[in-house]
Amino acid sequence: MSLIIADAVTAPAATPLEDARAQLAEAVAVLGYDQGIYNMLATPRREMTVSVPLRMDDGSSRLYIGHRVQHNFSRGPAKGGLRYSPNVHIEEVRALAMWMTWKCALLDVPYGGAKGGINIDPRQHSMAELERVTRRYTSEILPIIGQERDIPAPDVGTDEQTMAWIMDTYSVNKGYTVPGIVTGKPISLGGSHGRASATSRGVTHIALAALTHHGIRHQGATAVVQGFGKVGHDAALFLAEAGVLVVAISDQYGAVRNDTGLDVAALSEHMRATGSVVGFTGADEFDALDMLELDVDLLVPAAVEGVLHEGNAARVRATIIVEGANGPTSPAADRIFEERGILVVPDILANAGGVIVSYFEWVQANQAYWWNAEEVESKLAERMQAAWRQVVEYAAKRALTLRAAATILAVERVAEAHKIRGLYP
Ligand SMILES: NC(=O)C1=CN([C@@H]2O[C@H](COP(=O)(O)OP(=O)(O)OC[C@H]3O[C@@H](n4cnc5c(N)ncnc54)[C@H](OP(=O)(O)O)[C@@H]3O)[C@@H](O)[C@H]2O)C=CC1
Ligand SMILES: O=C(O)CCC(=O)C(=O)O
């Protein structure tokens, strides 16, 4: 039997962790904290890297590398998604875990931050292989997860089925069913109404609030959405439902454009049938990179990190950027957008709808009492809009960008928790 080491594990050229640490350093400087606080918050509290051997359907085997990083748990259990992508690297997982800490603190959800990942391309595997790899990864990280310790959820390349396998593996190990071990699980297993679309709902609440803030009418406003996965797909649908013209959408295979507004529901059908937006008859195909530079009211990056950077920021013509993805904008691009008067609504605010409803799901699962869809949706809207107002007011009062304001508010809450608990260095 052959053993294949899947994909070389090499560090990417510019790491999201550098971006995350630069954002933290700026917040720490404004707050007047010392180097000790920076060091503590720049470094994960706990992390685990595991080998994940996989027996393939044909009898051969592969070895993948998995991580779980718990950046912080001073305000509650660590919380964050699990990513399956060939690009997963420990540096990326550390950055994503740090952003989860700020997101939970900003939205006042009683969690710290975590993230996990395996350097696997889920598209290259059968369901049976994905189930085996998920169960093995879960068994390996079992000592550090738990409903009161660290609660995984879906992220890029994972979904509610992945969460169901994690829940089952964990529960079988414990000897009883533990629905609170994951969120984003199927409703039939104790998932919450509204979790599957919660991130996109939240992105839409924030995008509409940002358009209003800028004096742009929703009806007929133009938008571009990068990524047509769990976040981008429903965000495009909800924006179109609100009257916004979604003029371009991309996935990793290409981009489609229709300047009179894409029929998002028809594109969704095409996607379901073919696996990509490419080839959709109701639109023209064009270069996915050019899409980020279209002259629109709203740009929603909802795919991966680092897509808006020093090299393209000067050419971006959107009036507002709402970050559906985590870490799509580098600090250098942020500075360019600030100089050019482009409003950037940061990830830790814009895409927080997912973790808010994950929190609702965890509360419901732990109480074994479930809410209806309307209750979930209205509580989500309330929290997103309150956080938007708070960040906008704080930014205006202190002449900050929305990212700086959001990060400072979040970092201050986490540092405060350390201080009150007596862990302040
Ligand atoms: N799921 C959630 O609840 C949350 C997700 N996020 C963040 O949102 C982002 C998207 O996550 P999610 O939707 O869950 O992930 P999915 O795996 O469901 O979808 C990812 C999408 O991005 C596309 N994509 C990947 N690379 C590129 C690229 N280079 N250019 C254009 N499109 C690309 C994929 O294309 P293809 O389909 O062709 O592979 C797919 O459409 C991530 O940054 C994630 O961390 C943030 C908060 C919560
Ligand atoms: O729902 C969650 O727990 C976390 C979702 C996530 O990974 C994110 O917000 O980036």
Q: To the nearest 10°, report the CA torsion of 299, 303, 305, 309.
A: -40
Atom of ligand 1 nearest to the CA of 328: 43
Q: Determine the residue type at 340.
A: R
* Ligand 2 binding pocket includes 153 (Cβ within 6 Å): yes
- Which residue bears the tokens 């400072």? 408
Q: Residue 197: name the closest of 223, 163, 231, 226 by CA.
A: 231
Distance from residue 145's CA to the centre of ligand 1 (Å): 24
Write down the mean pLDDT value for the chain: 95
Q: Which whole number is the average pLDDT over 51-78?
A: 98
42-62: per-residue pLDDT in tens? 999 999 999 999 999 999 999
Angstrom distances, CA of residue 316 to CA of 115, 308, 335: 30, 9, 13
User: Which ligand is the nearest neighbour of the Cα of 255?
Assistant: 1
Atom of ligand 1 nearest to the CA of 305: 43
* Ligand 2 binding pocket includes 80 (Cβ within 6 Å): yes
* Ligand 2 binding pocket includes 81 (Cβ within 6 Å): yes
* Ligand 2 binding pocket includes 162 (Cβ within 6 Å): no
> Is 56 strand, coil or helix?
coil
Going by pLDDT thresholds of 50, 70 and 90, the confidence category of residue 14 is low
Atom of ligand 2 nearest to the CA of 151: 3
* Ligand 1 binding pocket includes 251 (Cβ within 6 Å): yes
The pLDDT of residue 7 is 35
**Cα–Cα distance between 354 and 350 in angstroms, integer?**
10
Distance from residue 323's CA to the centre of ligand 2 (Å): 14
* Ligand 2 binding pocket includes 354 (Cβ within 6 Å): yes
Structure-token pair, residue 173: 């190990």
What domains are defined for the chain?
Answer: 3-7+43-183 (3.40.50.10860), 198-350 (3.40.50.720)
The pLDDT of residue 289 is 86
**Cα–Cα distance between 406 and 65 in angstroms, integer?**
33
Q: Are 206 and 322 in contact (CB under 8 A)?
A: yes
The pLDDT of residue 425 is 54
Query: What is the arrangement of strands in the sheet containing 343-345, beginning at the earlier edge strand?
Result: 284-286, 254-257, 245-251, 222-226, 298-301, 320-322, 343-345
pLDDT tops 50 at residue 12: no
Q: Which whole number is the average pLDDT over 322-330?
A: 98
pLDDT tops 90 at residue 10: no
Q: Residue 293: name the closest of 255, 331, 327 by CA.
A: 255
**Ligand 2 pocket, mutate which of 79, 102, 147 (most atoms under 8 A from CB):** 79
Alpha carbon 34 to chain centroid distance? 29
355-413: per-residue pLDDT in tens? 999 999 999 999 999 999 999 999 999 999 999 999 999 999 999 999 999 999 999 99
- Which residue bears the tokens 């009683």? 110
Going by pLDDT thresholds of 50, 70 and 90, the confidence category of residue 1 is very low
167-204: per-residue pLDDT in tens? 999 999 999 999 999 999 999 999 999 999 999 999 99
Complex confidence, ipTM: 0.98
Q: Give the pairing type, strands 245-251 and 254-257.
A: antiparallel
Burial environment of residue 205 by CB neighbours within 10 A (0 to 12, 13 to 18, 19 or more): buried
Catalytic positions, please?
115
pLDDT tops 50 at residue 9: no
User: Which ligand is the nearest neighbour of the Cα of 324?
Assistant: 1
**Cα–Cα distance between 23 and 318 in angstroms, integer?**
23
Q: Determine the residue type at 312.
A: N
Residue nearest to atom 19 of ligand 1 (CA): 229
Q: Which whole number is the average pLDDT over 420-425?
A: 75
**Cα–Cα distance between 410 and 394 in angstroms, integer?**
12
Computed from CA positions of residues 389, 391, 397, 402, in that sequence, does the dihedral angle turn out positive or negative? negative
**Cα–Cα distance between 277 and 268 in angstroms, integer?**
8
Structure-token pair, residue 14: 């510019």
Residue list for the binding site: 79, 103, 199, 358
**Cα–Cα distance between 31 and 25 in angstroms, integer?**
10
**Cα–Cα distance between 2 and 5 in angstroms, integer?**
10
- Which residue bears the tokens 């994950």? 358
User: Which ligand is the nearest neighbour of the Cα of 328?
Assistant: 1
Q: What does the longest C-alpha to C-alpha distance in the chain come to? A: 65
Q: Residue 354: name the closest of 213, 183, 178 by CA.
A: 183
DSSP 51-117: EEEEE-TTS-EEEEEEEEEEEE-SSSSEEEEEEE-TT--HHHHHHHHHHHHHHHHHTT-S-EEEEEE
Alpha carbon 277 to chain centroid distance? 21
